């Protein structure tokens, strides 16, 4: 793929094998190179397939890793976007590399691969444990990867049903005041789950399987009193569950079932003073055999690069507002 980087007084040099692949790494008008130079404070010159990086030794090493990671991604047949460049830079600064391409989940429409080490750890947990709790900020793929595993298991016949649920907690509105029947009232809350399904299954299959009851997308309240056996069950936006609702949901698990619970504890829409069932479950389930808890950070955000900066800005704001913790 690449020759081993060589450091000398002139900088760090790298050579890549394929110029067509390299063109995707560089980007139109060298825009990807410009972003790497700006964020890592280096200068990159290239002629043909040979690159030379100038700057502080640590910065040169990070830039070299970023270039190798982007080349590997492009060599697997992917286009390189601004988001890919931003992610590779963040991983390089953290001393981490791209996720091996062998880690993947196949769905009828596409192969889903983790894009950060945190996602790889989470996907591994989803494949190995009966109950997985995924916590972290928006854009980290918590729900998307859980749906991918559920769709994959359903397609392979490892489960009989796929059940996707969310608590219908209103952000400033009441369901009773919204127009339409119950389905029309709750569907807007469930739209992100439908979106993930449409990314992985043909539309006609989704509707047919919903009509047959093989796929169910329903509010959390519809889970009460049921035993969910031989199913893959996902509870999304779980930070909006009360502790009582969370216990109710977790105890629905039946024979041959798997469950994923996802949410961001910092984004609850519950009334002020109401404890979040997700935060409590993180404490209660820690160390329980068969349960895996994965926590994402801003480094795992895979949406537009600005989302990662927004998450970081809000975290800093919350830290300032809450102030230093008093010693106990």
Look at residue 240 and tell me if it is in a domain: yes
What DSSP element (H or E) covers 249?
helix 243-250
Asked which of 58, 93, 128 is the last residue of a domain, the reply is 93
Residue 181 neighbours by CB distance under 10 Å: 7
CB burial of residue 125 (10 Å; 0-12, 13-18, 19+)? buried
Q: How far apart are CA 84 and CA 69, in angstroms?
A: 10
276-317: pLDDT as tens digits: 999 999 999 999 999 999 999 877 887 776 776 787 788 888
Q: Which residues, listed in sequence order, are joined to residue 52 by a DSSP beta bridge?
A: 13, 45
Q: How far apart are CA 292 and CA 129, in angstroms?
A: 7
127-163: pLDDT as tens digits: 999 999 999 998 899 999 999 999 999 999 999 999 9
pTM strictly above 0.85: no
**Considering the chain, what percentage of its residues have pLDDT values greater than 90?**
50
Query: What contacts 64, CB < 8 A, 6 or more positions away?
Result: 5, 12, 14, 53
Helix (H, G, I), strand (E, B) or coil at 11: strand
- The answer on 22 and 166 residing in a single domain is no
Identify the domain containing residue 270 by its residue range: 105-322
Asked which of 27, 62, 93 is the last residue of a domain, the reply is 93
CATH number, domain at 76?
Answer: 3.30.1370.10
Distances (CA, A) of 93 to 60, 66, 88, 138, 309: 11, 9, 9, 21, 15
Look at residue 18 and tell me if it is in a domain: yes
Number of independent structural domains in the chain = 2
Query: What contacts 299, CB < 8 A, 6 or more positions away?
Result: 90, 91, 94, 116, 118, 308
- The answer on 193 and 110 residing in a single domain is yes
Mean pLDDT by 10 residues, the chain (328 residues): 56 89 91 92 90 91 89 82 82 62 81 85 94 93 95 96 83 46 60 89 93 91 91 95 94 95 91 91 95 90 75 83 61
CATH number, domain at 191?
Answer: 3.40.50.300
The predicted structure's pLDDT at residue 324: 63
């Amino acid at each position: 793929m690449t020759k081993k980087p060589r450091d000398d007084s002139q900088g760090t040099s790298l050579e890549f094998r394929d110029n067509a692949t390299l063109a995707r790494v560089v980007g139109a008008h060298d825009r990807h190179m410009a972003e790497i130079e700006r964020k890592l404070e280096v200068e990159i010159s290239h002629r043909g397939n040979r690159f030379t990086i100038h700057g502080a030794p640590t910065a040169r090493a990070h830039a070299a890793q970023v270039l190798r990671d982007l080349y590997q991604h492009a060599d697997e047949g992917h286009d390189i976007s601004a988001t890919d460049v931003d992610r590779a830079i963040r991983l390089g600064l953290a001393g981490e590399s791209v996720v091996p391409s062998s880690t993947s989940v196949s769905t009828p429409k596409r192969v889903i691969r983790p894009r950060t080490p945190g996602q790889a750890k989470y996907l591994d947990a989803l494949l190995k444990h009966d109950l997985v709790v995924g916590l972290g900020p928006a854009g980290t793929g918590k729900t998307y990867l859980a749906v991918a595993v559920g769709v994959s298991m359903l397609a392979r016949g490892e489960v009989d049903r796929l059940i996707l649920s969310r608590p219908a907690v209103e952000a400033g509105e009441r369901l009773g005041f919204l127009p339409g029947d119950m389905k029309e009232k709750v569907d807007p809350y469930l739209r992100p789950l439908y979106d993930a399904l449409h990314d992985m299954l043909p539309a006609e299959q989704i509707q047919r399987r919903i009509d047959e009851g093989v796929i169910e997308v329903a509010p959390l309240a519809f889970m009460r009193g049921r035993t969910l056996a031989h199913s893959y069950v996902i509870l999304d936006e779980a930070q909006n569950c009360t502790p009582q609702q969370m216990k109710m949901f977790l105890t629905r698990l039946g024979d041959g079932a798997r469950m994923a619970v996802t949410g961001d504890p910092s984004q609850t829409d519950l009334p002020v003073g109401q404890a979040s069932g997700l935060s409590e479950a993180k404490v209660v389930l820690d160390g329980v055999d068969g349960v895996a808890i994965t926590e994402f950070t801003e480094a795992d955000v895979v949406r537009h690069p600005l989302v990662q900066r927004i998450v970081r800005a809000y975290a800093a704001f919350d830290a300032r507002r809450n102030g230093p913790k008093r010693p106990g």
